[in-house]
Chains A and B, each alone.
Chain A
Amino acid sequence: MSKTAKAKDQVVRLLISAGKAAPTPPVGPALGARGVKSMDFCKEFNARTAHIESGVPTPTLITIRPDRTFSFITKTPPTSYLLKKVAGIDKGPAKPGHEILATISLKHVHEIAKIKATDDHMSHLSLENIARMVVGTARTVGIQVVP
């Protein structure tokens, strides 16, 4: 969500595979249009995601200041991605909420919630509430949760 005022920071939200930044389509134009050298960003991004398995989609929030310097935050992989990985499915259902493609146990949900709890924007939520959010996401991805 970018703001058009000149004096304000611009915020860009991107989903980038860990360790694999610098492809032109997603990253290049999004940053280049705002005056950031994409190579600089990609080097720094790859360095920061070096500890993550290659290819895992990583949501990043890039803040671009008016003097064209930038800073960014990386977050945990999307819940839907983690759920699909755990359940072993590739794509979600054609009709979200109406199809069941796989089944998962509450133990899986607990482990996923533990990962998501490490995020800053989840720090005020209890693990139980995060687990409930994961269960809600599982419904949209076509995964049934059983005890």
Chain B
Amino acid sequence: MSLRNCLRKTHLQKTHRAVVNNFFQCRFYAASAKPATPAQKPTVQPKSSCPADTVLPGLNYLKNQPPVLALPDEEYPPWLWTVLLPKELEDDGPGGRKERMERRKENKQRIRERNFMSTQ
């Protein structure tokens, strides 16, 4: 009996709930709309340790080929600067490629750990 009394909501709790629900049913007008910025990957500023017009030795392996020179940073494709970072896969949803790749990665890691533990 007393337990049920405890579980029954007090008047204060009910009014609070009503206020909160009402709050979410009210409409608000934003004071100022934020400029809609699409979610951008952090743009990597190309800043190569290799200045333009450096000779790249050994890459002119054909006869009578002029020496290969490094170009200025801007002339290289943007993906080049992210090649050292792990590859970011697009989120395809539940059955998508990203989930499959991550699952394979986890499985491989699990096998590696299991093999290692079997040697311990």
- Which A residues have a C-beta under 8 Å from some C-beta of B? 50-53, 56, 77, 82, 84-86, 88, 105-112, 115, 127-128, 131-132, 135, 145-147
Contact = CB atoms under 8 A, between A and B. Distances in A.
Mostly, the A contact residues are helix
Mostly, the B contact residues are loop
A120 B77 CA distance: 23
Nearest to A127: B77
A86 B71 contact: no
Interface residues of B, number: 25
B47 A86 contact: no
A128 to B, nearest CB: 5
Given A53-B62, A82-B58, A106-B80, 7 more contacts: A50-B63, A52-B61, A105-B50, A111-B68, A131-B80, A132-B87, A147-B84
A109 B80 CA distance: 9
Greatest chain A CB density within 10 A among B47, B48, B50, B87 is at B50
21 contacts: A51-B62, A51-B63, A82-B59, A84-B58, A86-B56, A105-B49, A105-B50, A106-B48, A106-B76, A107-B48, A107-B80, A108-B50, A108-B59, A109-B83, A110-B76, A110-B80, A111-B56, A115-B61, A128-B80, A131-B83, A135-B84
Contact of A147 (B48, B58, B63, B87): B48
Contact of A52 (B49, B62, B76, B87): B62
A86 B71 CA distance: 16
A116 B76 CA distance: 17
B51 to A, nearest CB: 9
Contacts of A82: 58-59, 61
B70 interface: yes
